[in-house]
Amino acid sequence: MKNHPFAIALIIAALTPIPVVAQQLDPAIRTAARCAPIAGGRPDDAARVLGPTDPQAKTLYGRGGRIVINSGTNRGIQIGQRYFVRRVMEFHGAPRGRDTEGWVRILASNERTAIATVEFACDGIVTGDHLEPYEEPNLPPYVDRTDATGQLDFTKTARVLYGESGRATGGGRDFMIIDKGQKDGVAVGSRYAVYRNLRMDDVPPVNFAEAIVVSALDDNALIRITASRDAVTYGDTLVERIGGRGFPNTNAGAIGGGAGGGGGANGEQDE
């Protein structure tokens, strides 16, 4: 009895491993990516949060709250649209950046104002925060994995700037902004080793963390720290890895080594 070619194709497809990117990604990673900080200043003429629809005085709004927006159909705001709510970082010494406070959906809109409901609050949304069009983050393959198999290229480096709410430190699974972008050759999906110079005689810089580029603008990029043995802080150095495996390996090694080491954290997945 001959096997039908279509049946053989189905068997082959069933036996073929499904790439990690096609499998379900931890929802917490997607949520964290949506809540990640954004480089750059506030867009010109962005709509702003005016206040609550509730007659009780409020300045802080969480999930399920209804808020009034200072723009409507005259600015293209329509029922059903979703928007990120962001806030410009204004702390002392802040770089040009915006925190993502959550996202909303438009419930009603007239010519000059709109009403929105808070679908998710990364942090407290407040009066004066501004709206930006919602776009689902397009995460690179294996963003939940550590791949430290690539060779280090010390001619391609960057420095860590800041994380959420302008924090100068971050850890494993956190998102942070770095000081290089597309014009410097930084590409989405690129892997970086994170080094710190201990500034001690005869002690080389130490590789203590690994990261992947999640998105990139001209001058800055967003990374996700996939593994870390210590807090990643402002000024830490990132060194690009070239020619890595590009897919997870179940035989995970350890992060570490001096400046000459090739790393070893290989295929580790978030726990």
Share of the chain above pLDDT 70, in %: 78
Please report the pLDDT score of residue 95 as a whole number.
Answer: 59
Tell me the C-alpha distance between 30 and 43, whole Å: 24
Please report the pLDDT score of residue 258 as a whole number.
Answer: 47
Tell me the C-alpha distance between 236 and 210, whole Å: 12
Enter the DSSP assignment of 14. H
In this model, does residue 170 exceed pLDDT 60? yes
Kindly report the CA angle at 149 between 142 and 162, in degrees rounded to 5? 60
Task: Quickly count: other Cβ atoms within 10 Å of residue 187's Cβ.
Answer: 12
Would the pTM count as exceeding 0.95? no
Residue 70 tokens read as 């200072």
Identify the residue with better confidence: 268 or 133: 133
Full 3-state SS string of 222-238: EEEEEEECCCEECCCEE
Please report the pLDDT score of residue 60 as a whole number.
Answer: 87
Q: Which residues pair with 82 in a beta bridge?
A: 105
Distances (CA, A) of 218 to 139, 186, 221: 18, 9, 8
